[in-house]
Structure 1
Amino acid sequence: MSVFSVQPLIEGKSLPLLLKADKAGQPLGAALPRLRDTVDRHLTDCGGIVFRDFSLDGPDAFRAFAADFGHPLLTYEFGSTPRSQVTSGVYTSTEYPPHQHIPLHNEQAYTRDWPMKIWFYCMQPALQGGETPVADSRAIYRDMPPAIRERFAEKGVMYVRNYGNGLDVDWQQVFGTESRSEVEAYCAGHDIECEWKQDGELRTRQICQGTARHPVTGEWVWFNQAHLFHVSNLEPEVRESLLDVVGDETELPRNVLYGDGSPIDDETLSTVRNVLETHKISFPWQAGDVAMLDNMLTAHARAPFKGPRKVIVAMAEAHRQG
């Protein structure tokens, strides 16, 4: 007997797929064996699945549900945004102010190590806004102007980060340690160049992929966060004020170059953002919804919101770019 239906969440869109309980309030964990089979058959085609009208009893049940797909949950290492741990392997979504928009991105695409799976659990939707839009990274890759796509594929992307000084997340939080030697060991093991500056703060550089090939489907995807790290992501007045504080772009909390060290111009990244925006698919959260994404095939974002909002996150299935 069926315990859920399978249908598009949005008519005419394959992303995301909706798995909806036949009877509201069915325990999500109890339905897992049948859900897992459906996920195995559909996730790499659609890229993302929403589980709706099931019952899930809080963060620990969410953690168990995500872990039962067969991979240990990951810790949020080398993070780029503020988050808090809710329970083992489960974190708050990015703790940016509610009025701020978070653009489309693939989780940790600014590194050479990332989760293949990411889950979101909506415990409380916002009174207004607060959606988590998604987009097909394969379609973004196909629609990116060929000259831009080829340049990113050939050169890669260099991410430059200056930590702390009250301007961004400090290195102790990013690396989860107070030990410089532990930071240096982590960087050495992950192909990250690091240096301690005269003020005692840390600068890192890492050259990563601009595009990537999915290890299961073999499809190429747009996979970087250049549009987020680049200084052009800031509002003009914020950009000018920040540069007044730090002196020059090499001291910005975060910035990005091509992998050969040459600059990425504002116009190129404006084009990238426009392509991303054309592929955005948005849907309102309902309390109790769980969304599961293939992190390489599907990018996600966050819309501004009003009122309390609680969405928590889990990640699994570590993958490392060769």
Structure 2
Amino acid sequence: MSECHHFEAFTFAGQQDTASFGLDVSAPFPLALKPAHGWEPTLEESIEKIKELSESGELFEKVKRHGGAVLIRGLPIRSRQDYSDVVHALGFPAHEEVGRTPIRTVLAKNVETANEGPPEFPIWPHNEYGMSTINPSWLTFTCLHTPNSGGETPINSSLGLVASLKKRAPEFVEKLLQRKVKYVYRYAVEDVKSNTGTGLIGAYGKNVKAGDDKETIRKKIEEQVRRHSDRFEWHEDGSLSVTHIVPIIRKHNDTGLTTWFGNLTSAWGRSTHHGATEPPYLGDDGSYHPPPEYGDGTPIEKEYLDLALALAESLQVLVEWQVGDVVLLDVSCCSLVFLQ
């Protein structure tokens, strides 16, 4: 099993074999590490060792061999600040959110809640900001409190999803490669109780100040929107639709394999679950959920949408949380579902 300095690998139920994703090595996905036997690190020692592994490149090399994800268990993370301090040791630049769809609250430096939508509303597999041209390269998340039941976080290999789709529907993969995918997100004036419930100010109001008039607010919002899309439309009720046309079939540079990077499965899951498959795509949760389309605006065949979502859900690895766990994902080859 793979090991890193001061850490040893362990296995857990549900891990998958990276060879099935097309990688040239057989290794468990995701990689799972814990402090080596006899070592009970303090928070300061944890930060030091994570920094060493990051700066040497050893951690990222291991993560690549294991399909782009690692679960690190057994660190003494007990607070939001502990978590912030540990993950900053990885050395990543902070991701700036542009066009955020879920409602989130800042908890510590570069640490936010995952999604504050109603817990009874499902969330489907997606790559973080897969609909946008502004997205993070890496994502981390943690657990500070365990639930009495449920609450696992499913993660997926985007490499594995493409490999499965190529076998089941190669013509669909080719269509996506040639046409890209079109997503439309509609932001209401105010927040909505939905898993995509962020209003205009939460999504694009970074520079909006108290006292700004309507014309100034609209101008500032449009400036932010244009950072990742020139396609947008204001509606009579004051809401704003933003359209993105981006590739979903891409090359994963670290492995040279084909990967899936997008929000097609989550967009289709929301549309169907909330009864929003027909115009104006207003769901029973009060939020808008237009189904994804090909980049040229033609509908994606329902059988392909259903197949992609079914495969993504069948390929999930469930991470059953323990307090202090940290999961690190290469966003370009892993997708996830935050369960509350």
User: For this structure pair, what is the TM-score category when the shorter chain's length is used for normalisation?
Assistant: 0.7 to 0.9
**What one-letter code is carried by the residue in structure 2 that aligns with 1:194?**
F
Say if 2:142 is the partner of 1:121.
yes
Structure 1 position 230, deviation (Å): 3.2
Aligned counterparts, 1:82-121, within 5 A? 82-121=103-142
CA contact (8 A) 1:101 1:302 kept: no
| Counterpart selection for 2:267 from 198, 222, 229 | 229
Distance 1:242 1:58, change over 3 A: farther
- What is the TM-score with the length of structure 2 in the denominator? 0.79
CA contact (8 A) 2:101 2:198 kept: yes
Q: Gaps (5+ residues) in structure 1?
A: 306-322
Structure 1 position 138, deviation (Å): 0.6
Structure 1 position 127, deviation (Å): 1.1
Aligned counterparts, 1:128-143, within 5 A? 128-143=149-164
Which residue number corresponds to residue 324 of structure 2? 288
| Counterpart selection for 1:79 from 83, 100, 120 | 100
Which residue number corresponds to residue 155 of structure 1? 179
1:127-168: CA deviation from partner (whole Å, max 9, x where unpaired): 111111111111111111211111111111111122216654
**What one-letter code is carried by the residue in structure 1 that aligns with 2:112?**
Y
Say if 2:315 is the partner of 1:279.
yes
Q: Gaps (5+ residues) in structure 2?
A: 17-27, 209-216
Structure 1 position 272, deviation (Å): 0.6
**What one-letter code is carried by the residue in structure 1 that aligns with 2:178?**
E
Distance 1:31 1:10, change over 3 A: farther
Note the aligned Cα RMSD (angstroms). 2.7
Aligned counterparts, 1:173-192, within 5 A? 173-177=202-206, 178=208, 179-192=217-230
**What one-letter code is carried by the residue in structure 2 that aligns with 1:41?**
E
Which residue number corresponds to residue 212 of structure 1? 250
Structure 1 position 271, deviation (Å): 0.6
**Mapped partners of 2:144, 2:49: distance in 1:** 19
Which residue number corresponds to residue 193 of structure 1? 231
Which residue number corresponds to residue 24 of structure 2? none
CA contact (8 A) 1:133 1:280 kept: yes
1:268-305: CA deviation from partner (whole Å, max 9, x where unpaired): 211111111221111310011011111111111134x6
Which residue number corresponds to residue 39 of structure 1? 59
**Mapped partners of 2:8, 2:277: distance in 1:** 52
**Mapped partners of 1:245, 1:222: distance in 2:** 25
**Mapped partners of 2:14, 2:280: distance in 1:** 49
1:192-214: CA deviation from partner (whole Å, max 9, x where unpaired): 31222222221211111121222
Which residue number corresponds to residue 20 of structure 1? 34
Say if 2:303 is the partner of 1:267.
yes
- What is the TM-score with the length of structure 1 in the denominator? 0.83
Which residue number corresponds to residue 297 of structure 1? 333
Identity %: 22
Aligned length: 299
Distance 1:2 1:116, change over 3 A: closer
Which residue number corresponds to residue 51 of structure 1? 72
Q: Secondary structure at the match of 2:232?
A: strand
Structure 1 position 75, deviation (Å): 3.1
CA contact (8 A) 2:276 2:290 kept: no
